[in-house]
Amino acid sequence: MKRIIALIAMIGSAAPLLAGDFTGTVTLKGSPPPEKPIDPLKSDPSCGKLVTGTPTTTHYVVGPKGELANAIVIVKGVPGAKSTGASAAPVIVDQKACIYHPHVFAVQTGQKITVKNSDPVLHNVHTTPTVAGNKESNNAQLANGADIHLSFDKAEQFLRFKCDVHPWMFAYACVVDHPYFALTGADGSFKISGLPAGKYTVEVSHRKAGTVSQEVEITDAGGKADFSLEAK
């Protein structure tokens, strides 16, 4: 019995103690520049027929109190952290009314990205990575055509997807080499679960507003931190 108790104690001391949720909010200081209107009808009448109203660029998606969407929050230096992307569910990116949905998304290295074309027009999915080891690709996708499946091997922030047929169409992938990250929602909030207790550097990046970082401490009960970026 004593040997069993000792073995249980050894296992318990070796296992990492997982914390609760790490949560927070990202806000924007200052007024972002006005978004630019997009008029698909001028460039492609077929796309123009699919669009209602006048869409605009979405460089900044900001709430009434400065809540900033589409910022990537990444925890640095988690012991033993590695990608689980190969076993993660695919992230779906769709082309609807000649716009990428979502505009910004986050995946792990090795995680499948499934690109759909829900439009009755031809698109091409052209990825333009800048980090060595991530391959550029350019695939035509027929109207309501077969899905395109992609993945990337290296971490890279805001890896660009574009459609050369429709020059206003862009999407951006945040590729991370471990699962301890989150993309802020429309309310600027984020949640990252399963962090071992400890002190970490947390980096927050936005495609237009830049990057900030700060030290945070995660306890057995989790942790909370808020971040602020400045409009540029």
Question: What CATH architecture is 83-179?
Answer: Sandwich (2.60)
Per-residue confidence band for 128, with pLDDT thresholds at 50, 70 and 90: very high
83-179 shares the fold of 18-81+181-232: yes
Give the model confidence (pLDDT) of 179-231 as tens digits: 999 999 999 999 999 999 999 999 999 999 999 999 999 999 999 999 999 99
Quick one: tokens of 45?
Answer: 């009448």
Q: Is the pLDDT of residue 15 over 80?
A: no
CATH 2.130.10.10 corresponds to the domain 18-81+181-232: no
Q: What is the predicted pLDDT for the residue at 39?
A: 86
Q: What is the predicted pLDDT for the residue at 18?
A: 52
Per-residue confidence band for 2, with pLDDT thresholds at 50, 70 and 90: very low
Instruction: Report yes or no: 210 and 195 within 8 Å, Cβ to Cβ.
Output: no
Of the CA atoms within 13 Å of residue 226, those in its CB half-sphere come to 10
Instruction: Report yes or no: 19 and 222 within 8 Å, Cβ to Cβ.
Output: yes
Find the mean pLDDT for residues 133-140.
97
Domain ranges within the chain, ordered by starting residue: 18-81+181-232, 83-179
b/e sequence 15-42, b meaning 16+ C-beta within 10 Å: eeeebeebbbbbbbeeebeeeeebebee
Percent of the chain with pLDDT over 90: 84
Quick one: tokens of 207?
Answer: 């495609």
Q: Is the pLDDT of residue 145 over 70?
A: yes
Q: Is the pLDDT of residue 139 over 90?
A: yes
4 vs 164: which has the higher pLDDT: 164
Give the model confidence (pLDDT) of 71-112 as tens digits: 999 999 999 999 999 999 999 999 999 999 999 999 999 999
Quick one: tokens of 192?
Answer: 């990252």
pTM of the entire predicted model: 0.90
Q: Is the pLDDT of residue 146 over 70?
A: yes
